[in-house]
Amino acid sequence: MPTLNRAQTNAMKELLRIAPVIDELGRVFDEAGHEIFLVGGSVRDALLGSLGADLDFTTSALPDETEALLKRFTPTTWAIGKEYGTIGAIRRSEGVEWQIEVTTFRADVYRDDSRKPEVAFGDSIDGDLVRRDFTVNAMAINVATKAFVDPYGGLDDLADGILRTPSTPEISFSDDPLRMLRAARFASRLGFTVAPEVVAAMADMADRIDIVSVERIQAELTGLLLTDEPREGLDLLVRTGLAERFLPELPALKLEIDEHAHHKDVYEHSLTVLDQAIALEKARGHEPDIVNRLAALLHDIGKPATRRFEGSKVTFHHHDVVGAKLITKRLKALSYPTHVVKSVAKLTDLHLRFHGYSDGAWSDAAVRRYVRDAGGELERLHILTRADCTTRNRQRATRLRRAYEELEWRIDELASQEELAALRPHLDGTQIMEVLGIKPGREVGEAYAFLLEHRTEHGPVPEDEAVLLLRDWWAARNA
């Protein structure tokens, strides 16, 4: 966290950097008799020295006036958010494309029976700021005068690394319950501590999140998972009971440990797998990936339903299959895109596959089958399987790591010899029908499956040999 002096120095540098844009914008609104302020996350990020090209403003002008004024400032504007008081614009200056949003002073609230906020416009900057989620997001800078506006102590909280609400947490979370999830996201993104009274209100008001649309909840969950260190935010959601309202499978991983400690803490294991998957994502040169992260967090959600005590052992037979079904149901309920749902479910279904081979040699057929079944999720499966090793036994951890390195090496070796990434049978459907003299139907699918399995087990063969194999199979099938 920056000291107050460092924050002020950061802000000065950032304001000088964006001056060519905001100075003119300030003049346009000031000459029309309106106030306009750089606000919220833009001020916070300026104080942290990390302001990007997206700038948020708030103004005394109503939306129609804002739109007209912005058109004097730049030819590129849009009014998609106009009903909520927001007008957007793009301004290109000195090689930078500035994304600008200007919103009329707001005073929105949720009603008890509504899943959407009721839009209301305010009449002062202080009234707008008190309606914001946290004090570190409730600071503003008057664009015309450069006066710093901080009525709720956001600068001190930024320096102390604390998340507090401008009004009481109860009022803030009643106005917009989604702010409880934002507390978790900002705790992870900024590395801040959530004030005790805020945590207490989150626990007391957890059921209030039920009135928020599932799409907004999913967006916050995704934002949290895509931070560099989501563990603290996720644990906050579990501790306060919020996760129970929209992702009950996560707190359900807190299985009661039996007196003999026959299995590891599945909840803590899952958070550790997520940590390790993020580290691998970075190490392997990938951008933050919501599929990777959902799979890492939820790959074991089938364990509570499959836990059995067998003598002195605890088993979770088929938790991969059960987990894939649970994930499909939950992620659909959270309105995740179909491709995300399918990918996460597939990774969960496959996450134990490696362990069936880790103690033995990988045959060419086993490698081909592993690649074939993973399909387009192979790289993600590499990350999940490696991340899933959380044992504290160094010898076992080293053995598993080396075994997986051997597998990846074998995949690369075979891929250089065969078209492993696009594993297909020796003949396609058209060729199968020509060889057997049949029309499209179930028999073509059976023949295709036979040839694909042969290709997986034995590798590629010349086309004439494939034709003989197919005819022999067809004869035996119809004998």
Q: What's the CATH code of the domain at 53?
A: 3.30.460.10
- Are 116 and 151 within one domain? yes
Query: What single DSSP character describes residue 363?
Result: -
Domain that holds residue 135: 1-160
Strands in 208-312 per DSSP E: 308-310
- Characterize the bridge pairing of strands 193-194 and 162-163: parallel
- Are 335 and 404 within one domain? yes
- Are 388 and 435 within one domain? no
What is the C-alpha separation between 67 and 89, in angstroms, rounded?
A: 9
Query: What single DSSP character describes residue 427?
Result: S
What is the C-alpha separation between 288 and 282, in angstroms, rounded?
A: 8
CATH label of the domain that carries residue 218 = 1.10.110.30
Domain total of the chain: 4
For residue 86, give Cα distances in angstroms to 17, 106, 125.
24, 10, 16
Select from 97, 125, 160 the last residue of a domain: 160
* Predicted pLDDT at 260: 45
* Predicted pLDDT at 357: 62
Q: 253 lies in a domain?
A: no
Q: 254 lies in a domain?
A: no
* Predicted pLDDT at 328: 97
- Are 64 and 101 within one domain? yes
- Are 403 and 337 within one domain? yes
- Characterize the bridge pairing of strands 96-104 and 140-142: unpaired
Q: What are phi and psi of 177, to 5 degrees?
A: -60, -20
Q: 95 lies in a domain?
A: yes
Is the distance from CB of 373 to CB of 380 less than 8 angstroms? Answer: no
Which of 304, 286, 317, 289 is closest to 248 using CA atoms? 304
What is the C-alpha separation between 401 and 351, in angstroms, rounded?
A: 15
- Are 279 and 293 within one domain? yes
- Are 227 and 291 within one domain? no
Q: What is the pLDDT along the chain (479 residues), one digit of tens a residue?
A: 566 677 767 777 887 778 888 889 999 999 999 999 999 999 999 888 888 889 999 999 999 999 999 999 999 999 888 888 999 999 988 788 999 999 999 875 556 656 566 667 878 899 899 989 999 999 999 998 888 999 999 999 999 999 999 999 999 999 899 999 999 999 999 999 999 999 999 999 999 999 999 999 999 999 999 999 999 999 999 999 999 999 999 999 987 554 444 556 899 999 999 999 999 999 888 999 999 999 999 999 999 888 888 777 888 888 999 999 999 999 999 999 999 999 999 999 999 888 766 555 677 788 888 888 888 898 999 999 999 988 777 887 788 888 888 788 777 777 666 555 556 666 777 788 888 888 887 888 888 888 888 877 777 778 888 888 888 888 888 87
Token readout for 153 is 């102590």
Cβ neighbours of residue 90 under 8 Å, at least 6 residues apart? 74, 76, 77, 97, 98, 99, 100
For residue 299, give Cα distances in angstroms to 271, 319, 348, 351.
11, 9, 5, 7
Cα Rg for the chain, rounded, in angstroms? 28
What is the C-alpha separation between 87 and 103, in angstroms, rounded?
A: 6
DSSP states along 35-61: -EEEETHHHHHHHHT---SEEEEEESS
Dihedral angle sign, alpha carbons of residues 189, 194, 198, 199: positive
Q: 266 lies in a domain?
A: yes
- Are 287 and 222 within one domain? no
- Are 404 and 286 within one domain? yes
Query: What single DSSP character describes residue 104?
Result: E
- Are 64 and 96 within one domain? yes
* Predicted pLDDT at 199: 98
Is the distance from CB of 432 to CB of 444 less than 8 angstroms? Answer: yes
Q: 277 lies in a domain?
A: yes
- Are 358 and 418 within one domain? yes
For residue 268, give Cα distances in angstroms to 265, 290, 340, 390, 469.
6, 20, 24, 10, 51
Q: 252 lies in a domain?
A: no
What is the C-alpha separation between 44 and 217, in angstroms, rounded?
A: 23
Is the distance from CB of 338 to CB of 313 less than 8 angstroms? Answer: no
Select from 404, 422, 440 the last residue of a domain: 422
Q: 267 lies in a domain?
A: yes
Select from 405, 422, 439 the last residue of a domain: 422
Give residue 191's identity as a one-letter amino acid code.
Answer: G
- Are 31 and 126 within one domain? yes
What is the C-alpha separation between 154 and 105, in angstroms, rounded?
A: 19
What ranges in 284-363 are assigned the alpha helix state H?
Answer: 290-298, 303-306, 319-333, 338-350
What is the C-alpha separation between 473 and 466, in angstroms, rounded?
A: 10
* Predicted pLDDT at 259: 45
Whether pTM exceeds 0.85 = no
Cβ neighbours of residue 270 under 8 Å, at least 6 residues apart? 250, 253, 296, 297, 298, 299, 300
Extract long-range pairs of 66-75: CB within 8 Å, 24+ residues apart. 66/102, 66/104, 69/28, 69/29, 69/32, 69/34, 70/28, 70/100, 70/102, 72/28, 73/24, 73/25, 73/28, 74/100
Query: What single DSSP character describes residue 167?
Result: S
Is the distance from CB of 34 to CB of 26 less than 8 angstroms? Answer: no
Query: What single DSSP character describes residue 238?
Result: H
* Predicted pLDDT at 229: 96
